[in-house]
Amino acid sequence: MPVVHPSSTDAYRDAVNKALALLTQDQRGGMPNIEVVPPVGPFETTAPSPRFGRQTVDGYSDTVNKDPNIYITGNSDNYHKAQQGDKQALIRLASDIVHERAHLEHGKDEMQAYDAQLAILKALGADQKLIKSVQASRDFVASPEAQLVGGIPQ
Ligand SMILES: [Zn+2]
């Protein structure tokens, strides 16, 4: 289990709380515990791919070990922006949380997780740039490159 960020319980969580507040009660339903952590673990980043560049991980979950928590990496660019109140970054964070919840509910399947994430992005009014970037990540995990770099984050 990852080390919980020492500041996970204070102001460092503001962005998580603000992101959750964007969701309706229905969309928030059954939300697991969320921990803000440094980017530890084997899937902090994957090797750069010629077609997609370096993929960074803004959140993850561990369905293999049945860990009930969602982990958000607190020093990602997106998390910094979200902490500053950037609306699109908060929407992205909310969608990352929904992506990880889909894994905890349905397992490793990335397509299902990305589809849940993209649906939330659209519902929350994400801009086209953000939707395209998540779509690109979905394309990446479905690509041969993702297999080549030896596994993908959940
Ligand atoms: Zn995933």
Distance in Å, CA 3 to ligand 1 centroid: 20
Q: Report how many domains make up the chain.
A: 1
pLDDT over 50 at 95, yes or no: yes
Give the domain extent around 113.
Answer: 11-148
- Rg (alpha carbons) of the chain, rounded to whole number: 14
pLDDT digits (tens, 9 = 90+) for 140-154: 888 887 766 555 555
CATH number at residue 54: 3.30.2010
Residue range 19-23: mean pLDDT, rounded = 97
pLDDT digits (tens, 9 = 90+) for 117-143: 999 999 999 999 999 999 998 998 888
Distance in Å, CA 8 to ligand 1 centroid: 22
Burial of 69 (0-12, 13-18, 19+ CB in 10 A): middle
Whether 77 and 70 have beta carbons less than 8 Å apart is answered as: no
Name the nearest CA neighbour of 41 among 77, 69, 11.
69
Evaluate whether residue 76 is within a structural domain. Answer: yes
Evaluate whether residue 38 is within a structural domain. Answer: yes
Evaluate whether residue 95 is within a structural domain. Answer: yes
pLDDT digits (tens, 9 = 90+) for 59-77: 888 888 889 999 898 878 8
pLDDT over 90 at 11, yes or no: no
